[in-house]
Structure 1
Amino acid sequence: GDYNTSLLQWDINMNESCYKTPLSSGLRVTLYIVLGLLTIFTVGGNLMVIVSIVYFKQLHSPTHFLIASLTCGDFGLGLTVLPFSTVRSVETFHYCLDASFCYSSIFHLCFICVDRYVAVTDPLIYPIKFTVPVSGMLIAVAWIFSLVYSFSVVFTGANEKGIHKLVNALSCVGSCQILFNKTWVVVSSLLYLIPFSSIIVLYSRIFAVAKRQARMIEMMSNNTQSSDNYSDRVGRRERKAAKTLGIRVFAFLVFWSPFQIVVIIDVFLNFITPPLVFDIVSWFAYSSSAINPLIYSLFYPWFRKAMKMIVSCKILRLDCSTMSLFSE
C-alpha cells in the first residue's frame, strides 16, 4: 500500500532525506552561547531554589518540599538533558531522562495544585491533611511512576512496534528524536492532558473561593477597626501562593503545548516534521525549566531574601538557617 511504498522510499533515499544541515561557524557559535546560557540559567536558578528550601528551616513545610521536588526535575533536566541536547545526543538514556523529568513536573504541579486547593478552601483542616509524610508520599509517586513509565516503554521497544522500518530509516546522522507509534503517543498525550484538565478544574474552584474570601474580608474590614489578624494574613499568603502556582502552570502549558501538538500531528502524518521544527519546539519546551526560579524571584519575597543570603555566601559564615524569611 501507500504506507509500505513510503517506507521503501525512506530506505532508498536514506542518505538524501536524512542528513545534518550544515551551519555557518557564526551561527554555530551563537547557538552554543544561547543554549549554553539557557542551560546554565536553568541549572543555577533551580539549584538556588533547592538550596533555599533545604537550608532554611522556615521553608521545611509540605508545600515547599513539593516545590523542591518539582524544582529537582527542572534541575535534573538542565544538568543531564540540556547539555546533551545542545550537541544533539542520540542516546536512548538521554531521552528516558527527558521524558521522566517532563512527566515528573506535570504530576508535581498537579499535586501542588491539590495542596493549594485544600489550603485555600479549608485552611483549618489543611495542617492535619497535608503533613510532611503525605508530601513525601506524593513526591515518591510522581518520581517512581515517571521513571518506571519512561524507561519501561523505551527499553522494551513498545514505542517502536509497527514502525521498525521507519525507525531504522531515520536512525542516521542528523536525526535525534526517538519515534513513538500512535498507541504510545496517545497514551503520552493523555498523561499530559488529564493532569492539566484536573488542574484547570481545581483552579477554577480555588479562584472562586479566593474571590469569595477576599469579599468577606473586605466586608469585615468595613465593620471593624482592623481585620489584619493572623488568620487574614495567612489567608492572603495562601491565595498569593495559589496565584503564583497558577502562573507557573500556565507557563508550563504554554511552553510544552507546541511540542505535544507537533508530536501528535507527526505520528498521524507519517513523521513529516522537519528536524529543525522539532528542535525548535523541543527547546521551547525545555525553556519551561528556566521559568521556575524566575517566577519565584518575581513573586516570592522569601526566595529573593534567601537568594541574597546564598549569593553573598552568608550561609557559609553565619548560622542563618533559622532566620525569618516571611514578613508577617
Structure 2
Amino acid sequence: MNISVPQGVQFCYEELNGSCTRITYPLSIRIPLYLFFTSTVIVIVGGNILVMITILNFEQLQTPTNYLVFSMSVADLLLGMVVMPPNMIESLEKCWYFGDFLCKFHASVDITLCNASVLHLTCISIDRFCAVTKPLQYQNKMTTCVVLTMISVSWIFSAIFGFAVIFSPSDSDPSAESVDVDCIGGCSGLHEKEIGVSYFFVFYFIPLTIMSTIYLKIFVIAIKQANTIHEINKQVRLDKNNLTKMDFKATKTLGIIIGVFLCCWTPFFICNIIDPIIGHSIPALLYEILMWVAYLNSMFNPIIYAFFHTWFRKRFQILLKKCFK
C-alpha cells in the first residue's frame, strides 16, 4: 500500500533507486512503543522458559499433558525470539532491512508457529477430553508414545504447510500468500491481506470449532462427575479423588488458555475474512495492531500457568530457593 507523506518523502534506502517509502514516527511515539514491544518479548521469552524449566526439573510433572504444554511453550518461545523482534523493527521503522530470503523465511516460520499453536491446543483439548470422559482408560490410551506422535505430527505438518505456502510459486495457487514486493525494503509476511480466506478457515475456524465442541462436552461431563464426587466425599474421603480433582483443575486452566487464544486471534482472523469482501479497504495500521494483539497470546499462556496452576507456583518456588541458596 502506497502511503503519501505530507512533509517530504523518505525511503528505506536513500541511495538505491526503487526503494520503498518510509514513514518516520516521532520519537515520542517510537520510544514508548519500542519499550512496550521489547518488554513483551522479554516476558514471552522469560515466561515460557520458566514453564519449560519447571517441567524439565520435576519428574512428577513430566506427564503426557505437560509434554503438550512444554511443546506449546517451545512454539511461544520461538515466536518471541525469532518472529517478534524483526516484526517490531518493521512495524516501527516501516522497512524490512533483512533481505528477501529472510523475509520469506521469517514469514514461513511465522505461519509454522501459528499453525503449531492451533494444533497443540487441539491436541490438548483431546487429551483433556480423554482424561475426563475415560479416566480409567486414560493412562493406557494417552501414553507418552501417543503424545509424542501428536506433537511430531503437529510440528511437521505446520512446518510443511508454512514453508510450502511461502516458497511455492505464487501463480500456482491464487489464494497463496506472496511475499514479493515491488520496491526494495518491503516485505509482505503472514500478516498481510492476500493470504486467502480458505487458509484461515481450515487452520483456524475448523480446529477451534472442534475444540469448542470438545470443551462443551467436557464441561457438561465435569459438572456431573464433580457432583458425584461431592456425594461420595460426604460418606467417605478417598485419596483417589485427588487425581480427579487435578484433572478438573487442569481442564479448567486449559479451557482458559483456549478462551484467551480466541480473544487474541479472533479479531485478526475476522479482519482477514471481511477485508476481501469489502474490497481490501481495512487500513494497514489496523492489521499491525491486531497482529500484535494476537502475539500477546504467547505472553498470556505462561502467566495463566503461574496464576492458575498450583503445581507451577509450588515447583517454581522450589527452583527459586535452590537458585538463591
Do both proteins adopt the same fold according to a TM-score greater than 0.5, normalized to the shorter chain?
yes
Higher relative contact order (CA 8 A, sep 6+): 1
> Match for residue 61 of structure 1?
63
Separation in 1 of the partners of 2:179 and 2:106?
17
Aligned equivalent of 2:262: 253
Residue identity matched to 2:307: L
Residue in structure 1 matched with residue 109 of structure 2 by the alignment: 97
Q: 1:133 — aligned with what?
A: 145
Q: Does the alignment pair 1:297 with 2:297?
A: no
Where in structure 2 are the equivalents of 1:1-328 lying within 5 Å?
Answer: 14=2, 16=4, 19-88=21-90, 89=96, 91-158=103-170, 161-162=173-174, 171=183, 176-177=188-189, 179=192, 181=194, 184-222=196-234, 224=235, 226-227=236-237, 229-312=238-321, 314=322
The Cα of 1:288 is off from its aligned counterpart by 0.3
Give the TM-score normalised by the residue count of structure 2.
0.84
1:277-296 per-residue CA deviation (whole Å, 9 max, x = no partner) reads 11100000000000011000
Q: Which amino acid aligns with 1:265?
A: I
What percent of counterpart residues are identical? 32
Distance 1:118 1:15, change over 3 A: closer
CA distance in 2, matches of 1:241, 1:135: 17
**TM-superposition CA deviations, 1:114-142 (whole Å, max 9, x none):** 11111111111000001111110000010
Question: Under a length normalisation based on structure 1, what TM-score does the superposition of the two structures give?
Answer: 0.83
- Provide the secondary structure at the position in 1 that maps to 2:24: coil
**1:46 and 1:74 in contact (8 A); partners too:** yes
Q: Compare 269-278 and 138-147 and name the one that shifted more.
A: 269-278
- Report if the CA contact (8 A) 1:117-1:202 is conserved: yes
- Gap runs ≥5 in structure 1: 1-9, 318-328
The residue type paired with residue 94 of structure 1 is: H
**In structure 1, what is the Cα distance between the partners aligned to 2:137 and 2:249?**
19
Report how far residue 180 of structure 1 moved.
Answer: 6.2
Aligned residue pairs total 299
Alpha carbons 1:162, 1:181 under 8 Å: kept: no
Q: Which amino acid aligns with 2:246?
A: R
Quote the Cα distance in structure 1 between the aligned partners of 2:180 and 2:277.
Answer: 18
Tell me how far apart the structure 2 counterparts of residues 85 and 181 of structure 1 sit (CA, whole Å): 18
